[in-house]
Amino acid sequence: MWDDLKSRGAAIAERRIETLFEDPNRARDFSVSALGMLFDYAKTNIDAETRDALIALLDARDVAGRREAMFSGTPINETEGRAVLHTALRNLDGAAVTVEGQDVMPEVLDTLERMEGFARAVRSGEYQGQGGAITDVINIGIGGSDLGPAMAAIALRPYHDGPRLHFVSNVDPADIHDTLSACDPATTLVIVASKTFTTIETMTNARTAKAWMGEVVSDTGAQFAALSTAADKTADFGIAPERVFGFADWVGGRYSMWGPIGLSLMIGIGPEAFRAFLRGGQAMDTHFRAASWQENMPAMLALVGIWHSQVLGHATRAVLPYDNRLARLPAYLQQLEMESNGKRVSMDGEDLGFESGPVVWGEPGTNGQHAFYQLIHQGTRVVPCEFLVAAEGHEEGLEHQHRLLIANCLAQSEALMKGRDFDEARSKVAGKFEGAELERQAKHRVFPGNRPSTTLAYPKLDPETLGKIIALYEHRVFVEGVVLGINSYDQWGVELGKELATALQPIVDGERSADDKDGSTAQLVGFLRANGA
C-alpha cells in the first residue's frame, strides 16, 4: 500500500497542480464542507486515484474501529494502559461513556458545573481576594496545562469580559517575575494547572507565586486554585478542595483544555462562551464519527498530511493563520501534533519503517510573508502550507482591512501553486535590463510554483468555531497516528531531558563537580558558573 502510494508520488512528481483544474469540478470535489467550514485541498497534487489509495489506508488500518474504541473508552493508549476520552469533556448531552464499567459523564458534568459556579463567582466579585474583587488571574502551567488556554485567550479576545488573564509557563524566572510585577497580590487569583502536580517548572513557579502573595496576603491558599488529577498533592500545597478541579488520567495533557485546564479561559470569557467552545468541539466529534471518509474533514486533513509527509517526504508543514488572534495556534499545534506523533516506534515497539509526524511550525499572515515566505516560495525545500482564514473579522468599520487580509491569504496559495516562469519573469524586468544582465536578473525572479497548500475557511473566529477547529486538529492527529501505527497519547520522549536536568541541578548549583559529564557539558557549566550562574 505504501509502495503503491510512493510510486504514485514518483509518477506525478513533474505534474503541475494547476493542470488538475482542467477538471471544472476540481475545487468542489477536492474540498470538504462541514459545520459551516470549508477545507479546500484542491491546490495539492492529489487526484481521484491517489485519494482512493489514501482512503484505502484508513480501511486497512481500521481507523473506523479504532475511532469507536476511542470514543467508547477502550484503553487505546496502550503503553500507559489508559483510555483516551477528552471527547467526554465536551459531551454536553451527557450520553453515557463507560470506563472500566463506570459511566464517567456524571462526574464530568458535575466538574463542569463546579467550574462554572466558581468562574461566575470570580467574575461577579462574589469570590474576592484579600483586597477585593479579582482583577487578575494567573494560570501557572506548562505544555498542555498552558498552551490551550493561552492560545484560546488570545483567539477569543473579543469575547473576553472577565478579569485580566496571564499565563506563566517557563521556569525562567523572567516569566513569573514579569507577570507578578504587573499584578496586585491582594486581588490576584493564581491557578496552578498541572495534571500530575509534580512538573518541576510549574511547581517552582507556583511556590514563587505563593511567596510573592504571602508578603501581602495572610491566607494565600484562599487565593489559589488547582487543576489536577492529584488531589493529595493539591492538598499538600494548601489548596482547599472546593477550589480543586479534578480530571481523570484518560485526559491527555495536550488534549485537556476542554475540562478544568480551561478554567482560566472560562473566567475570562464566561461560562456561556466556554460552553459554546465545547459545543463546537462536540459538533466536530459528531461529524468525525458520522461522515464518510471523503466527506470527513479530520480524515481528509490527516490524509493530505500523510501524502505530503510520509509519501512525498516533506519534512515540515507550515500552519499559517490569516487570523492574527490565532498567533499561538502554531505553538499549540506543535505540542498537539509533535508530542503525539513524533514517535520512532509503532505501538508494538517495532521501528516505524517510515517517517514519523512532521515538524509543525508557523506564524500568522501577513507577518510571515515579510519573514520566511521567501524560502517557501523560492527555497529548494518544499514546505506544504496550511492556511486558515475567516470570512469576517470582529472589527467594525475595518472590514476593508479584513478583505485585504483575505486577498493576501488567497494570493499566497495561488502564488505557491502557479509560480512565475522565466519568460514572465523576463518580461517583468525587460525594460530595466538587457542582454546577459536581463537573463541573470530574470532568473532571480522565477518562482517554481507547484507547491501544495490547503486552506481552511470559516465564517468568524467565535468560541464555537474555535472549538470546531481545535477538535478538527485533534482528530487529524488521531487519524495520522492510527495510520502510522503510533501511540499518539504517550510522550516518553520528554523524560530523558527531565531526568538529566534533575541530575545537573546540583552541578549548576556548584554542589557537585561536572567531572563525570561529557567535555562539552562540563565546559558550558564552567563558563556559566564563571559568569555568574
- Determine, following the binding rule CB under 6 A, whether residue 202 of this chain makes contact with ligand F6P: yes
Least CB distance from residue 411 to ligand F6P, whole Å? 37
- Determine, following the binding rule CB under 6 A, whether residue 246 of this chain makes contact with ligand F6P: no
Residue 140 or 390 with smaller CB distance to ligand F6P: 140
- Determine, following the binding rule CB under 6 A, whether residue 205 of this chain makes contact with ligand F6P: no
Specify the stretch interacting with ligand F6P by CB under 6 A; choose among 36-44, 89-97, 190-198, 355-363: 190-198
The full DSSP string for 227-256 is EES-HHHHHHTT--GGGEEE--TTS-GGG-
Residue 260 or 270 with smaller CB distance to ligand F6P: 260
- Determine, following the binding rule CB under 6 A, whether residue 86 of this chain makes contact with ligand F6P: no
Least CB distance from residue 86 to ligand F6P, whole Å? 12
| Residue 370 designated active-site | yes
Specify the stretch interacting with ligand F6P by CB under 6 A; choose among 192-200, 311-319, 386-394, 440-448: 192-200
Scanning residues 492 to 511, which ones bind ligand F6P (CB under 6 A)? 494
Catalytic residue among 337, 339, 363, 474: 339
Residue 196 or 408 with smaller CB distance to ligand F6P: 196
Residue 233 or 475 with smaller CB distance to ligand F6P: 233
Scanning residues 431 to 450, which ones bind ligand F6P (CB under 6 A)? none
How many residues sit in the footprint of ligand F6P (CB under 6 A)? 14
The candidate with the shortest Cα–Cα distance to 41, out of 304, 291, 295, 298, is: 304
How are beta strands 188-193 and 224-228 bridged, if at all? parallel
Specify the stretch interacting with ligand F6P by CB under 6 A; choose among 44-52, 191-199, 205-213, 373-381: 191-199
454/44 Cα distance (integer angstroms) = 7
Which of 8, 90, 195, 314: binder of ligand F6P (CB under 6 A)? 195
User: With the C-alpha atoms ordered 245, 247, 253, 259, is the resulting torsion angle positive or negative?
Assistant: negative
Least CB distance from residue 147 to ligand F6P, whole Å? 8
Question: Under a CB-based contact definition with an 8 Å cutoff, are residues 432 and 441 in contact?
Answer: yes
Residue 135 or 196 with smaller CB distance to ligand F6P: 196
Residue with cell 500523510: 306
Q: What is the DSSP letter of 126?
A: S
Residue with cell 508520488: 9
Least CB distance from residue 491 to ligand F6P, whole Å? 5
Helix, strand, coil in percent for the chain, rounding step 5: 55, 15, 35
Question: Under a CB-based contact definition with an 8 Å cutoff, are residues 227 and 61 in contact?
Answer: no
Residue 95 or 494 with smaller CB distance to ligand F6P: 494
256/147 Cα distance (integer angstroms) = 10
- Determine, following the binding rule CB under 6 A, whether residue 294 of this chain makes contact with ligand F6P: no
Which of 194, 234, 309, 369: binder of ligand F6P (CB under 6 A)? 194
Which of 196, 294, 346, 521: binder of ligand F6P (CB under 6 A)? 196
**Burial of 16 (C-beta count, 10 Å sphere; 0-12/13-18/19+):** middle
Question: Under a CB-based contact definition with an 8 Å cutoff, are residues 208 and 192 in contact?
Answer: no
Residue 282 or 491 with smaller CB distance to ligand F6P: 491
Residue 136 or 146 with smaller CB distance to ligand F6P: 146
Question: Under a CB-based contact definition with an 8 Å cutoff, are residues 248 and 436 in contact?
Answer: no
Which of 491, 507, 514, 525: binder of ligand F6P (CB under 6 A)? 491
Amino acid at residue number 266: M
Catalytic residue among 14, 100, 370, 499: 370
Helix/strand/coil for 193:
strand
Catalytic residue among 177, 428, 443, 498: 498
CA distances from 280 to 72, 274, 292 (A): 20, 10, 20
Residue 39 or 237 with smaller CB distance to ligand F6P: 237
Question: What is the separation of C-alpha 483 from the centre of its chain, rounded to a whole number of angstroms?
Answer: 20
State residue 86 phi and psi, 5-degree precision: -55, -25
Scanning residues 248 to 287, which ones bind ligand F6P (CB under 6 A)? 253-254
Amino acid at residue number 56: A
Those residues whose C-beta lies under 8 Å from the C-beta of residue 482, and which sit 6 or more positions away, are: 61, 62, 63, 66, 67, 488
- Determine, following the binding rule CB under 6 A, whether residue 309 of this chain makes contact with ligand F6P: no
Residue with cell 497516528: 481
| Residue 308 designated active-site | no
Least CB distance from residue 255 to ligand F6P, whole Å? 9
Pattern 333-362, ligand F6P, x by CB under 6 A: ------x-----------------------
Amino acid at residue number 414: E
| Residue 339 designated active-site | yes
Task: Report the helix count and the strand count for the chain, using DSSP H and E.
Answer: 21, 15
Least CB distance from residue 193 to ligand F6P, whole Å? 7
Least CB distance from residue 194 to ligand F6P, whole Å? 3
Least CB distance from residue 181 to ligand F6P, whole Å? 24
Pattern 125-164, ligand F6P, x by CB under 6 A: -----------------xxxx-------------------
Least CB distance from residue 360 to ligand F6P, whole Å? 16
Residue 283 or 338 with smaller CB distance to ligand F6P: 338
SS3 for 420-437 is ECHHHHHHHHCCCCCHHH
CA distances from 292 to 34, 65, 273, 351 (A): 12, 14, 30, 31
55/318 Cα distance (integer angstroms) = 23
498/500 Cα distance (integer angstroms) = 6
**Residues marked as catalytic:** 339, 370, 498
Which residues are at the interface with ligand F6P (CB under 6 A)?
A: 142-145, 194-196, 199, 202, 253-254, 339, 491, 494
